[in-house]
Structure formats: structure tokens, C-alpha cells
Structure 1
Amino acid sequence: MAVGGHRPLDDKPLASVPAILGRLREFAADPEFWVSLGETFRVAAIGLAISVVLGVGAGLLVGQSDLAYRSTRVLVEFLKPIPPIVILPLLVLVLGPTGDMGIFLVAFGGMFPLITQTAHGVHDVDPVAAETARSFRLTRWQRVRTLVAPTALPFVATGVRISASAALVIALVSEIIGGAPGLGKDLVLAQTTGDYAAIYALVVTFGVLGVLINGLLAALERRALFWHASVRSEVTA
């Protein structure tokens, strides 16, 4: 994306609203901007999908066993707050400043909240309902489909929303610090050339993208969980 090179340096660290809107219009007409936006979104989406598959799968296994739930809880709670960025230098050495590096970081950062949320949801199954299902000799798949999944889905949906917000931030950080291609790298270029209008325009783009993703996930959650008490209470209110 063409950022800053054709403009004189501006000594003022702030940009006017018309200047920011002007840069946004220029970005909208610039194919390189859409390529960078697509790369950032691709990294965040693929990394999030991997974290959902791994996190939900691990959470289902952990949540259905009291021993596994108690044994892994401390480890997961210890690893969950560790920012993925701490392993960025190692990934740059191994994978280089590529999209694969960002995907790995996003998957690593989003996996632990999903493990925690899914395990809590599975573990929250009503013991009386579980014993009733066993007494009726339901198969494991039938118990998962009719008992475990409805209980765990609201927890999983919350975990996906948390991980999705983190996925976008981690993808941008991997581009800003790690040098991977995308909007984060364009932001660094704008900062280097002193193009403050472009900096603020990119920040606005990040914010709008985050709001759109959160709104889309919230709408999907309401549609998928229309039967849940929390969603019905929101609609009634």
C-alpha cells in the first residue's frame, strides 16, 4: 500500500479530521490497501479457526473427566494469561516474517480461552440430567448431542468472541513487531515516513474492523442460541 512516500513530512503529531477522511478515501481506491486488509483478515481468521478446533476439542475432552478437569485446570490457567507475543522472536527465527508466523500466534493466543470456556461448559452439565441419560442408556454421541452440547454452547460462543477479539489484535501485533505483511506493517511504514494522517486512518480502520467482527459474531450467537435463556431475556428486554 502506498503510504507516506509521496507526501512531505509533517512535524505535527496530530492530523485533522478532513485529512484522515481524505486518506481513508485514498485507501478505499488503493488496491494495495485491500490486499493488506485481506492478509490481516486471513491471518486472524485462519488462526481463529485453528484455535476453535483445537480449543473446543481439548475442552470437550477435559470437561468430561473430573480427573482431567482438576489436573489441567492449574496448567491452563497458568498458560492462559501469557501473551503470545513473548514467543514472537522465536517464531521469527523459525518461520520468518510471514503470515504463517501470525497464524501460529493467533492460534496459540486464542486456544486457551476456548479450552477454559468449553471445559467449564461441559463440566456445568446437570449431574441429575447426566445420570438420567445414563439410566436410559444413551450412547456417548447421544449424550453429547442432547445434553453436553446445549449446555456448553453458550460457553463456547463466549470463548469464540473473546478469541476473535484477541485474534485481530495478535494478527496486527505480529505485523507491527514481526514484520509480517498486512495493515500492521503499513502502520509501521506510515509511522516511519511521518504520515500521521495515514496512521490515524489505519487506526480508524482497525477499530471499524473490530466492531464489525464483534457485531457479526454477536448476531450469529443470537441466531444460533435463540433458545437459550440469556438470549431470550435480551430479546424480551
Structure 2
Amino acid sequence: MIRGGLGVLVFLALAEAATRLEIIKSSVLPPMSAVVRQAVLLTADSEFLRDVWATLYVWAFGMVITVAVGVPLGVLLGSLPAVNRAAKGIVEFLRPIPSVALVPLAIVIAQSDLGMKTTVIVYASLWPVLINTMYGMQEVDPLAKETLRSYGFGRLAVLRRVALPSATPFIATGVRLAASVGLILAVSAELLAGGSHGIGVFILRQSSGIDTLDEVLAAAVWAGAIGLVVNQALIQLERTMFRWHTVRTEAAL
């Protein structure tokens, strides 16, 4: 975390020097000091804070749907090989499709700002959750499952007592990856399709003005900062909840 912060400071210092020394024209890249100053000023801008809340709301809503769909589907595909083989072709066909390319289709289908953004977020975020859940289910110790079956436990009992607890760290990793993807798609959908509120909408409004490049970049900085905070919070949550998994993984390495 400290090294990451130092890396950001070094990058900002280099960008500032490049502008001040006129290696890069200020009309192309404003001084980073001006961008950081504008980012601080945005914290007192009620309109921008409303846009941030709008982005976070649709992102959180999309993530709830993603987890509610992706985890059960991943458990199903990961625990039943026959179903996995039947669905593999569909999954491999849909997964490479760029989510941003679906924005026009989502606008037509959803017919609402919230529905369009949620559709794009769920589609993009579903794959990390689905794939990691499937992988976690397939990595369950077969000896542990057979031991429970030998004591007369059925399929659902084995799933609840062994498979799901063992796969949970993998699911958590998938959710963390999906959270970053979902936030990127939330802002991207706002940039492409517009709307009434959102960080992407704020960037669109400011980019249409004169001498507002520093405000555009300041909003982008806040989008990145939010993504960083969300990712670090989920990493810390994983380490706290699954300390046993972290210790076992480090020991294996």
C-alpha cells in the first residue's frame, strides 16, 4: 500500500515536471497540481457529489445482481460436470464480447437509464464471479467430499459443509475483480449513453466547456480513487475473513 502510494506520487511529480518544462503542452495536459487542487475543490461541489452517489448506487445495484446470479450459476456449473460441458460453448461465446459494445443494445432493451447501466455492469462483472466460483468448486478436496459421503451425507450436505466453505475464498476474489470491472463499466456507460447523473455524465458536461480539462481530469482522478479504495477494502476483508486460506497459500509457495 505504501509502495503503491509512493508510485502515485512519483507519477504525479513526473507529470507535473513534464508540463512545467513544456515537454507536454498545458493545453494537452494541465499541471498535476491544478488537477489535484480541482479534485479537492470537487469535494465541496454538491452537484459532483450527487453524481458520485449516482454512480456508486448503480454500481452497487449491479454488483448485488451479479453476485446473486453469478455465484449460484458458478456453483451449478462447477459441481455438475455434465451441465458444465453443455454450457461451456455458450459461456466461451459470450465471454469475449466487449461489454461496452452492448451499450446501444442495452439502451433499446432496458429503455431506462438505470436498467441500461445495470445490464452492462452485470454482463461485464458476471464473468469474474462465475469463472472464479467454478474454479473454486472444482478445486475442492475430493477426499473431504468422499469422507462425508461415506458417513451417509447427501449431495446437498456435502455442498454445504465442504464445497461451499472451500470455494468461498475463490468466490471472494471473483467478487473483488468484478467490483473493479463494474465500476469501470458504470462510468463508461455514463460516458457513452449519458444520463441525468453520474461521474461519466459530469465528465461529459465539463468536457463541453472551455478550459475545463483540469475538472475533467479531476473527476477521472476521483473515479480511480474510488476504485482503489473499493479494491483495498475488499482485499482487507478477504485477508480478515479467510486468513486460513492466505496462510495455506503462502505456505504452498
Using the size of structure 1 for normalisation, the TM-score is: 0.87
Of structures 1 and 2, the one with the larger relative CO (CA 8 A, separation 6+) is 1
State whether structure 2 residue 45 is matched by structure 1 residue 30.
yes
Other-structure match for 1:210: 227
Q: Deviations over 1:187-206 (max 9, x none)?
A: 11222214111011011111
Output the amino acid matched with 2:47.
Answer: E
Other-structure match for 1:191: 207
Q: Deviations over 1:139-169 (max 9, x none)?
A: 4443123210122112111211111110000
Q: Distance in 2 between matches of 1:172 and 1:188?
A: 11
State whether structure 2 residue 98 is matched by structure 1 residue 45.
no
Other-structure match for 1:165: 180
Other-structure match for 2:69: 54
Q: Deviations over 1:79-101 (max 9, x none)?
A: 22212222211222333461221
Other-structure match for 2:158: 143
Q: Deviations over 1:15-59 (max 9, x none)?
A: 123322332232111111111000111111110111111000101
Among the aligned pairs, what percent are the same residue? 32
Other-structure match for 1:3: none
State whether structure 2 residue 14 is matched by structure 1 residue 12.
no
Other-structure match for 1:119: 134
State whether structure 2 residue 198 is matched by structure 1 residue 182.
yes
Output the amino acid matched with 1:185.
Answer: V
Q: Distance in 2 between matches of 1:17 and 1:129?
A: 56
**Structure 1 residues 201 and 231 mapped into 2: Cα distance closer, same or farther (>3 Å)?**
farther
Unaligned 5+ residue runs, structure 1? 1-10
Cα root mean square deviation, aligned: 2.0
| Displaced runs of 4 or more, over 3 A | 94-97, 231-235
Output the amino acid matched with 1:192.
Answer: S
Pairing partner for 1:219 from 236, 243, 247: 236
Using the size of structure 2 for normalisation, the TM-score is: 0.82
Other-structure match for 2:20: none
Other-structure match for 1:4: none
Other-structure match for 2:114: 99
Residue 244 of structure 2: SS of its match in structure 1? coil
Q: Distance in 2 between matches of 1:146 and 1:115?
A: 21
Instruction: Check the 8 A contact 1:222/1:231 in 2, yes or no.
Output: no
Instruction: Check the 8 A contact 1:76/1:116 in 2, yes or no.
Output: no
Q: Deviations over 1:106-155 (max 9, x none)?
A: 11111122112111211222222222211111244431232101221121
The within-5 A match list for 1:122-133 is 122-133=137-148
